[in-house]
Chains A and B, each alone.
Chain A
Amino acid sequence: MRDEPLVLGIETSCDETGVGIVRGHTLLANTIASSVEQHARFGGVVPEVASRAHLEAMTPTVERALEQAGLRFADIDAIAVTAGPGLSGALLVGVAAAKAYSLGLGVPLYGVNHLAAHVAVDQLEHGALPKPCIAMLVSGGHSSLLLVPDVAKDIVSLGSTVDDAAGEAFDKVARVLGLPFPGGPYIDRAAQDGSGTAIAFPRGKHDDGTLDFSFSGLKTAVARWVEARERNGESIHVPDVAASFQEAVVDVLTHKALQACRRHGVRDLLIGGGVAANSRLRALAQERCDAAGVRLRVPRPGLCTDNGAMVATLGSDLVAAGVAPSLLDIPADSSLPITTVHV
């Protein structure tokens, strides 16, 4: 497959400056500079802090990616970049850099949808996506259920969160429990020593017939439960709270994901986004997929969280599909809809 184009992908929609290089569906480099530590003391991503970090990290991260792949600028055939959705000031740094590389190297630019890129990246690990598949993307920024007839051309939104993203709920509950930011890995770890059935937390929208999510009520219920115990001077068993909260989240997520598969007669489910690294989500999804006869695909954690390889992969699919490149005056669009796979 030597003839497939070399695509360099740039991702700056949140707090990771990600640069990936692929040839077709072969991963050659995936480098990341994260500003997560600069946000930790604020308990969430601060947009201006993220934008400043992107500017500092952008060109050094591109050069590290080239080094990792053993390539030179002249080898690159196309540039892909996240055009949205995401934090507008953060997106703008990546989009401006991508246009400059496209202009400077004289190669085409592909502005892509961040969510579609989360779907496309699994192909680096598990080969071409079945057409169609259902994708569930869960992270600090998104909670979406998608029907994906063709990742390069056609994606349909089936449902999304009506309030907090799943990862946001993890962050907020972690704070209530005195665990660090970002909360996901710490809750996951604490939950290993607790019981998921110790406390019956609410499952928002579990049986409402939609494929939407809601995590705000759950987050509040956990905070209330903890405060009530603290008021009475009772000690709190953090592992039980973490495990029971986590169980409520992954129960709703996997329930809805499989409902989506059933409703659309689809037998392949993909889970992506940072929360896909959660061990209980992976285990329960596998269990429920096995019971329903659905094949489950989850990329390894390094490809689930935001990264440049996912952008490069979708760019590579767009080149292969013969899609026209983006113009060099495209905007960064913080609310780019999922129906727009590329701009």
Chain B
Amino acid sequence: MLVLAFDTATPAVTAALHDGERVLAESTTVDARRHGELLVPTIETVLREAGVALGDVTAVVAGSGPGPYTGLRVGLVTAQALATSLGVPAYGVCTLDAVAYGSGLAGPFLVATDARRKEVFWGHYEDPRVRLSGPSVDRPQDLPGELPLVGAGARMYAEIVGPSRVTGAPEYPFAGALAALAAEQLGEPDVREVVESGTHPVLSLPRPIYLRRPDAQVPSAPKKVSA
């Protein structure tokens, strides 16, 4: 097994390779505005560092969001195009799941990332592998409970959610965690069928989780031009 995983649904552009047992290489750059420029060079970096060829990759996994749409789409279309040109399957994993998996926390907690417009994308986790609810998009003051919070959305709104709840875990998803989480599942038999039926708890088809409709207004009658 050789899993190539990447995520572009947060300011971090991150890629990693996993051989089914361990992360062979991981590279991450935080730059919210250049996902489209950074992703392929980042993939090339991890291939070089791991000393493997792209042709040896057996599955491509991309973070499926939620996250700012422009960056999110870069990762997903890259996964789809790369996988079809290599003739291997592509999968999506919820970006919040990668943050949860990489958090190192044991008990129940919330993951919150920046959704812009003074809102967060968030999910409720039983442990690093099990999401109980979400992903959802809400204002930070509307997040439930007393549970610890992980992720950049928690840091940004620490004053609102209560600074003591915000943990020191990494702010962003890292592709090493994404790859490891996916690799745990990819060894299972019939994984493709389960994913295609839409019932797999972790893996999905590489499609975006948007959570918001596009901003667009159906125009009323044409504006009058004369006074």
Which A residues are within 8 Å of any B CB, using their own CB? 41-43, 46, 48-49, 51-52, 54-55, 58-59, 62-63, 73, 88-89, 92-93, 95-101, 103-106, 175-176, 220, 223-224, 227-228, 328-332
Beta-carbon nearest neighbor of A104 in chain B: B85
Within 8 A of A (CB), among B19-47: 34, 36-41, 43-44
Are A176 and B222 touching (Cβ within 8 A)? yes
Question: What chain A residues lie within 8 Å of B43 (beta carbons)?
Answer: 103
- With A49-B216, A100-B85, A332-B36: A223-B41 Cβ-Cβ less than 8 Å: no
Are A99 and B78 touching (Cβ within 8 A)? yes
Beta-carbon nearest neighbor of B72 in chain A: A55
Chain A CB count within 10 A is highest, among B79, B85, B87, for B85
Which B residues are within 8 Å of any A CB, using their own CB? 34, 36-41, 43-44, 54, 69-70, 73-74, 76-87, 208, 210, 214-219, 222, 224-226
Question: What chain A residues lie within 8 Å of B224 (beta carbons)?
Answer: 223, 227
- Pairs across A and B, CB under 8 Å, 22 listed: A46-B214, A49-B214, A51-B73, A52-B69, A52-B210, A54-B73, A58-B77, A59-B77, A63-B84, A96-B74, A97-B81, A99-B78, A100-B82, A101-B82, A104-B54, A104-B82, A104-B83, A106-B54, A223-B224, A223-B226, A227-B225, A329-B41
Are A41 and B85 touching (Cβ within 8 A)? no
- With A51-B69, A58-B77, A93-B73: A330-B37 Cβ-Cβ less than 8 Å: yes
Are B81 and A62 touching (Cβ within 8 A)? yes
Question: What chain A residues lie within 8 Å of B216 (beta carbons)?
Answer: 42, 46, 48-49
Are B37 and A105 touching (Cβ within 8 A)? no
Are A51 and B80 touching (Cβ within 8 A)? no
- Complex Cα–Cα for A328 and B74 (A): 13
- With A43-B219, A55-B77, A93-B77: A73-B85 Cβ-Cβ less than 8 Å: yes
Are A223 and B77 touching (Cβ within 8 A)? no
Are A224 and B226 touching (Cβ within 8 A)? yes
**How far, in Å, is B72 (CB) from chain A's closest CB?**
9
